[in-house]
Amino acid sequence: MALQTIDNHSLAESLFEVFRTRGYEGATISLLSEVTGLKKSSLYHRFPAGKDDMVKAVIAHVSSQLHEHIIGPLLNNKEKPEKRFSKMLVIVNAFYADGRKNCLLNVLNLGKPKTEVKKLLKKDYTDWLAALCNLGEEAGLNKKTAKERAEHFLVVVQGALVIQRLTNDNLAFKKNMEYEKKQFFK
């Protein structure tokens, strides 16, 4: 029997999709093993603390993507703020598959998330919030308004994902992102 291997990026992506769709409690070791193609023993070899280590690796992977594709470009002032916001919306729409995919922040906060997991998720939220605040201020909004718009945007992202799942309205997320594009800098 051939030894199953998987590179770290593919492993993180596979684990991410399971946690994203099933949450922490629903992501069983059996399912994680099946999806990754690794035996349970191989998973425990890579992640000695089991699901706790796996979810931390997934958060680190998503955090890296968030910083590379969203936060970093938002902070790069070589383009106008409106252009950077528009580009961010394209990435956000792709990341959430136009609202059809769950947010890790949302699903890992169900039940009683572990303190360390909550801290990691909160850091990404606050980093994204800070980047949006900076963008708003750069565009001429005062500090208070920029923070309000940034918080509102992140709440709309989460809310639109939940409402789209609830109503099966495949346009709910897209409509809300289009609205935010028009309103963020007003």
Residue-by-residue DSSP string for 94-136: HHTGGGTS--HHHHTTSS---HHHHHHHHHHHHHHHHHHHHHH
Which sequence spans correspond to the domains of the chain?
58-183
Amino acid at 103: C
> Taking the mean position of all CA atoms in its chain, how far away is CA 72?
15
Give the list of residues 6+ apart from residue 11 with CB closer than 8 angstroms, or none.
Answer: 36, 38, 46
Q: What is the DSSP-derived secondary structure letter of residue 109?
A: T
| C-beta neighbour count of 66 within 10 angstroms | 20
Name the token pair of 61: 């992977």
In the predicted model, is pLDDT for residue 113 greater than 80? no
- Spatial distance between the Cα atoms of 17 and 34, rounded to a whole number of angstroms: 13
Asked if the model's pLDDT at residue 115 lies above 90, the reply is: no
Note the pLDDT tens digit of each residue in 51-95.
Answer: 999 999 999 999 999 999 999 999 999 999 999 999 999 999 999
The pLDDT score that the predictor gives to residue 106 is: 82
pTM as predicted: 0.91
Predicted pLDDT at 109: 78
58-183 sits in which CATH class?
A: mainly alpha
